[in-house]
Amino acid sequence: MYVTALGLYECEINGQTVGRDVFTPGWTEYRKRVQVQTYDVTALLRAGENAWGAILGDGWFCGHISSKDRQGYGPQPVFLAQLEITMPDGSVHRIVTDSSWKYSTGPILENDLIMGESYDARLELENWSLPGFREEGWLPVVEEAAPQIILTASASPPVRRQEVIRINGPLGAGAPAGKRSIFDVGQNIAGRVCITVRGPRGGHFHIRHAEMLDAHGELYVDNLRSARCTDKYTCKGGEEETWEPRFTFHGFRYVEIVFSGPDIEIVKIEAVALYSDMEQTGSFSCSQPLVNQLFQNIHWGMKGNFLEVPTDCPQRDERLGWTGDAQVFVSTAGFLRDVRGFFTKWMLDVADAQKPSGAISSVAPQIDARTGEDAGPGWSDAAIICPWEIYRVYGDRRILEQNYATMQRFIEFLRDKRCRDHIRSHPSVDPWGGHGDWLAMDGGVDREGSTPKDLIGTAYFAYDLELLSRIAGILGKTDDSIHYKAWREEVVRAFRRRFVTEDGLLVGNNQTSHVLALHFNLLPEVARNIAASELAKNIQKRSYHLSTGFLGTPYICRVLEDAGHLDVAYKLLEQETFPSWLFPVKNGATTIWERWDSWTPDKGFQAARMNSFNHYAYGAIGAWLVGTVAGIELDADQPGGSHILFRPRPGGTITQAEASWHTVRGRVAIKWEKCNDRLNLALTVPAFGCATLLPPDGYVAGQLKFGPGRHEIVLNGEVLAQKINRAS
C-alpha cells in the first residue's frame, strides 16, 4: 500500500489498523512536498472479499498551527492511496482512490492538534472496515485536482506510541466528589491520555491538560495561551469503553477530568508518550543525583519535542520547528538518539522554507509564506550547523551534498543583504538584527539580552564560513574551500576591529560575548587569556550563576574548560540556586524549562505569554556532560566514530561518571572513578575502532586491557597499546 494525505490519515483493512505510525504522513511544507508511506499489507488480506478504508484528520494541513487560524494550507483533508496486489501468476491488481469511493462522518466530532479531540462513542460505525458493511447514507467523494507538489518517500522515522505510564489515584479529594479529579502523571510528556471507563449512555467527560499546578493546586493553563488542550468523550453505555484520541497531542504532566455526573467510573487511566521513533543510542550517569536528573530532563525534553519536527515546545499554541533551538541542541541529540533520518527530513523542510533570496526562515516547515525574510543569527545558521553535526556524528556525507546548494545561497544572502564591511547584522543594513541571545538574564526586560546583535551575527557568520570551507573540502570542491576559508579570515579581522579593544577586552563585556568570541576562535592569541579571565570574573561576580541565553549557554562550560577554568565550569554545573541548570531540578522539573525564571519562589510564574516548561534548548549542556564529565567525544576530523577521544575531566563534587554511546561503528563506553590520587578507567572501543586516551592533568595511563577485535589506544600522539585478534 502506498498512501499519503494532505492532513492526517489512519487506514484499516478488514477491521485491522495498517501499521503503528501516528500522525501520518507527517508535517512538511505542503506547498512543495508531501511524504508517502509504504506498507506491506499482505497479512491483512484474505481470500475472497476485502474491505479497505481510511479515517482522516485535520492535522497540520487544515487545523490550527501555532496561534494562527485554521486552514493555513487548505480547507479540508485530502487522501491519496494505491493498493498493489501481486497475484500468483505475477499479474498486478491495483485498487486506487477514485470517484468510486464513498465517505461519511463518524464518532470524531472535531480534531485539532492544538485544541484537542471530541469523540461521541454513540456514533461509532460498527465493522465499517469489514467486508459486508452496508454503507447506506454514505456520499460519493469529491475528487480534487492533483496539486503541483512533490510526492516523496518518508525520510524520517514515524511518530509512534512510546512509553505508557500508568496513572494512579487523583490528587487530593477532588471537588465535588465524583465530578472532577486531577491526576499527576509524574513526568512532563508530549502525548495523550488513554482511559477506560464504565458509564451510562450519553454520560460524558472532558480531559484538560497542563504542565504545572498553581499555588491552589489547580491546573496552571495561562501559559497555554489560546490552546484549549481539551479532549471530550461521550459514552455509548454498557460495557467498559477504552478511548485514546487519534489526531491530537498535548504537552502535560497533569490532567483534570470533569465528569457529567458521579455515575462514570474510571477503570484505568494511562498517559501515552508520543515522539518520533528514534533508537536510543546514549546514556550517562554520575555520582551527583541532581546532575543525573538534569540529564534525564534533557532526554525527556528531547522526546517531547522531537515529534515529526524539532518543535520548541509541545503544549501551547506554538509547537513550531524553530531553527535556533534545533542548532544549539543537535550535538546533544546525536548522542541521545539516532537522529539521522529525523534531521535528513527536517533539512528538506529547511530547504523548502528557504526564500528565493537565500534567506533561511525562523521555522521549518514555513507556516506563512508572507513572514519576514531572515531568521537572524543563531537561527538561520541551522542550515549549515545541523548538516555538519549530523555528518560529524554519523560520517555520511550525503547530508552535506544534499544541502550544499542551500548553504551557498544562504551565505550569499548574508553577504548581499545582511552585511556591511563583513559585519553581519550591521545596524545600517539590518536594523532588527535577529533574536539576539534569546532569554538571556542580562537584558532586563529585553528578552533578547544585552549582547550586541552585530557581534552575535558576525561571530556566527565566521563560524558558518569555517564550516562551509570544511564541507567544501570534504565534497572535493577545493576552490570553494579555499574561497570560504579566505572569506572567513576577512570576517575575523572585521570582528576584531569592531568588537575587540586594544587591551583585548570585548564589546558587551558579558558572558555570551566572551563565550562566542572564544568558542568560534575569533580572538588573537594574546587576547584569548584576557577574554577567558574576564568571563571567569563575570561568573564569579554573579556568585557562579548564568546570565546567558539560548546562544551563549550551550558553549559556556566548554569554553571555560578549554581556557583553564574547569573549576568555574563545574561550579556553574552544580549551582543549585537561581539561575542555573539545577534550580529547576531542585524544584521538581522533569523536563527543561524555556526560561531560567519560568518559576521562582519569590515571583511565581513568569509572564504567561511565553513560559514553557518543556523547552529543550538549555539542555544543550548535555553534550558537555558526555564529552567532559564522562569523557567521550567523536573526532570531527574522523567522523562517524572512527576515532574516539576518551577525555574525562573530573571536577566539582563528582567522583564517578560513565557514559555509553552506540555509534555507527559499534558501542563506545567509559566509566571512571576517583580513588584517592588514582583515576580508575574502564573503556570500550568497537572492534576495528581507534581511540585516543587524553588523561586529565596530573594523571598518566597505567595498564590497559582490550576485548576481541582490533583496538588501538593512542596517548599523546604515540601508540600506547594495541591488540589484534583474528579469531573471528
The CB-side HSE value for 405 (13 A sphere, CA atoms) comes to 6
pLDDT at 399 over 90: yes
Which of 256, 594, 658, 712 is the catalytic position? 594
Closest C-alpha among 338, 480, 350, 333 to residue 396: 338
Integer Cα distance of 2 and 196 in angstroms: 34
**Arithmetic mean of pLDDT, 100-115:** 97
pLDDT at site 174: 46
Closest C-alpha among 218, 248, 253, 251 to residue 231: 248
In tens, the pLDDT along 55-83 reads 999 999 999 999 989 999 999 999 999 99
Lowest mean pLDDT of 133-137, 491-495, 662-666, 688-692, name the range. Answer: 688-692
pLDDT at site 370: 54
In tens, the pLDDT along 192-212 reads 999 999 999 999 999 999 999
Count of helix runs (H) and strand runs (E) in the chain: 14, 36
**Arithmetic mean of pLDDT, 177-199:** 92
Local confidence band at 445 (pLDDT 50, 70, 90 cut-offs): confident
In tens, the pLDDT along 476-516 reads 999 999 999 999 999 999 999 999 998 889 998 999 999 99
pLDDT at 726 over 50: no
What is the gyration radius of the CA atoms in the chain, in angstroms?
27
Q: List Cβ<8 Å contacts ≥24 apart for 148-152.
A: 149/30, 149/31, 149/32, 149/33, 149/34, 150/32, 150/33, 150/34, 151/4, 151/33, 151/34, 151/36, 152/33, 152/34, 152/35, 152/36, 152/348
Closest C-alpha among 169, 236, 204, 288 to residue 656: 288
Integer Cα distance of 565 and 240 in angstroms: 62
pLDDT at site 700: 73
In tens, the pLDDT along 617-654 reads 999 999 999 999 999 999 989 999 989 999 999 999 99
Lowest mean pLDDT of 36-40, 399-403, 698-702, name the range. Answer: 698-702
Cell of 134: 452496508
Lowest mean pLDDT of 429-438, 479-488, 686-695, name the range. Answer: 686-695
Helix (H) or strand (E) holding 240: none
**Arithmetic mean of pLDDT, 542-560:** 98
**Residues with Cβ < 8 Å from 405, sequence gap 6 or more?**
none
What is the pTM (predicted TM-score) of this model? 0.95
Local confidence band at 175 (pLDDT 50, 70, 90 cut-offs): very low
594 included as an active-site residue? yes
> Is 389:334 a contact under the CB 8 Å cutoff?
yes
Locus of grid cell 546583535: 453
Cβ neighbours around 94 below 10 Å, total? 9
239 included as an active-site residue? no
pLDDT at site 716: 54
**Residues with Cβ < 8 Å from 525, sequence gap 6 or more?**
none
Which of 318, 561, 574, 658 is the catalytic position? 318
Q: Quote the mean pLDDT of the chain.
A: 94
pLDDT at 297 over 80: yes
562 vs 689, higher pLDDT: 562
pLDDT at site 176: 45
The CB-side HSE value for 618 (13 A sphere, CA atoms) comes to 30
